[in-house]
């Protein structure tokens, strides 16, 4: 269990809220306000309770030095408009100006601190820097699951110094990913895609112990196909991990987890938009052909697995989805899963940058039970690794 802001005494208190406003910028303006919008419910909750809200976040990778190009001041006007209240800005995240700005807040006011990564102590989780953050507030709230896998001063260190709680956005993430892997409705199906086995070894090893069925797609399926003795032609594969793939499949069998791989694939001799391509069984890939997507038979098999499941966990596309027509398997499967969510009560939780992009391409992000934009933190959670920013909030 994690401590939640609903259980905290926040009235008239100064609340330091760790948000993730590391949003994409173009010509000095936020080009996608998704991360700012994610924090709005917690900010509204605190303001309505009469709290004084102090927002802390990083932006970019300034390397512990002040960089005007990575200042958060340009987002103040947009943030004010989103909140419906004038947000004040402090040109540092700690020190005299930050202390004075925090001390001058009235109930319902909002203060945005400058980029925490302008200080080397942030990423080093330096206790002195954490203490300087802690002195600004009475209570700490983490509302950014996307940085909860980082043991930084503003995500972990400060939470050890003043009463610490989870914000509404962080709670929502934790509740959904916990329900999907720790207390799911069974059977549980996991879909793992992407380019490289090497980036997802820990994920696959953990999933085979947690789920009833695991489908491996994307280019990393080629390494598993090779482990089964198939010649994948000119396809991307990691020859040095063929043995590892075989061991993961054996571990799946020992854990009672069915491991599914593509049985038919879409191949081409060139990787470019709309090249000459064909569908073939995995046993008949020519030496000069590349596997770039799953075939229709595989999509049907995966749809049947989804239909037989009560919970779906999805991380990674099934093919080279950015390039037509190799988005077909990902899009069709995503749309089928979305229908099962809407019509049959499937719990579908998905996350990861490419996964979010793929679901957006399919037009179904709003139809899944939950889609996490947390990226690395979501992957680390699926891997079964600790998240320092969450662990420090446990009751």
Please give the positions annotated as active site. Answer: 35, 196, 353, 376
Handedness of CA 134, 136, 140, 142 (dihedral sign): negative
Name the residue among 187, 141, 149, 116 with its Cα closest to residue 351.
Answer: 149
Q: What's the rounded Cα separation, in Å, for the pair 344 and 337?
A: 10
Q: What's the rounded Cα separation, in Å, for the pair 352 and 371?
A: 9
**Residue that is written with structure tokens 């943030």 in the block:** 79
The SS3 call for residue 58 is coil
Strands of the chain, DSSP E: 14-18, 25-26, 29-30, 52-56, 87-90, 110-113, 139-142, 164-166, 188-192, 213-216, 258-260, 264-268, 277-281, 290-294, 311-315, 347-351, 370-372
110 to 9, 29, 44: CA distances (angstroms): 18, 20, 10
């Amino acid at each position: 269990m994690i401590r939640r802001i609903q259980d905290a005494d926040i009235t008239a208190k100064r609340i330091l809220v760790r948000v993730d406003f590391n949003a994409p910028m173009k010509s000095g303006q936020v080009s996608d306000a998704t991360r700012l919008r994610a924090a709005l419910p917690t900010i509204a909750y605190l303001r309505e309770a009469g709290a004084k809200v102090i927002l802390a976040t990083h932006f970019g990778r300034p390397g512990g030095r002040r960089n005007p190009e990575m200042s958060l001041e340009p987002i103040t006007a947009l943030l004010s408009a989103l909140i419906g209240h004038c947000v004040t800005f402090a040109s540092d995240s700690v020190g005299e100006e930050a202390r004075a700005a925090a001390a001058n807040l009235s109930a319902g006011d909002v203060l945005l601190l400058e980029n925490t990564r302008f200080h080397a102590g942030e990423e080093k989780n330096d206790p002195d820097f954490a203490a300087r953050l802690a002195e600004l507030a009475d209570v700490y709230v983490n509302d950014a699951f996307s940085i909860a896998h980082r043991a930084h001063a503003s995500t972990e260190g400060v939470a050890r110094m003043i009463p610490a709680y989870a914000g509404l956005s962080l709670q929502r993430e934790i509740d959904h990913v916990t329900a999907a892997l720790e207390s799911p409705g069974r059977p549980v199906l996991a879909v793992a895609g992407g380019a490289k086995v090497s980036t997802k070894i820990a994920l696959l090893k953990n999933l085979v112990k947690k789920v009833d069925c695991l489908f491996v797609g994307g280019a990393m399926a080629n390494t598993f196909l090779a482990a089964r003795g198939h010649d994948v032609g000119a396809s991307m594969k990691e020859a040095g991990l063929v043995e590892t793939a075989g061991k993961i499949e054996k571990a799946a069998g020992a854990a009672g987890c069915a491991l599914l791989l593509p049985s038919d694939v879409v191949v081409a001799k060139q990787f470019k938009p709309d090249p000459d391509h064909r569908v073939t069984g995995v046993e008949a890939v020519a030496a000069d052909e590349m596997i770039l997507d799953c075939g229709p038979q595989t999509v049907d098999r995966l749809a049947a697995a989804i239909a037989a499941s009560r919970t779906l966990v999805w991380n990674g596309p099934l093919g080279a989805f950015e390039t037509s027509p190799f988005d077909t398997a990902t899009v069709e499967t995503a749309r089928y899963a979305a229908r099962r969510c809407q019509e049959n009560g499937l719990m579908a939780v998905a996350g990861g940058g490419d996964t979010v992009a793929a679901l957006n391409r399919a037009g179904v992000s709003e139809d899944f039970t939950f889609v996490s934009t947390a990226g690395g933190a979501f992957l680390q959670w699926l891997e079964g690794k600790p998240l320092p920013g969450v662990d420090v909030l446990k009751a």
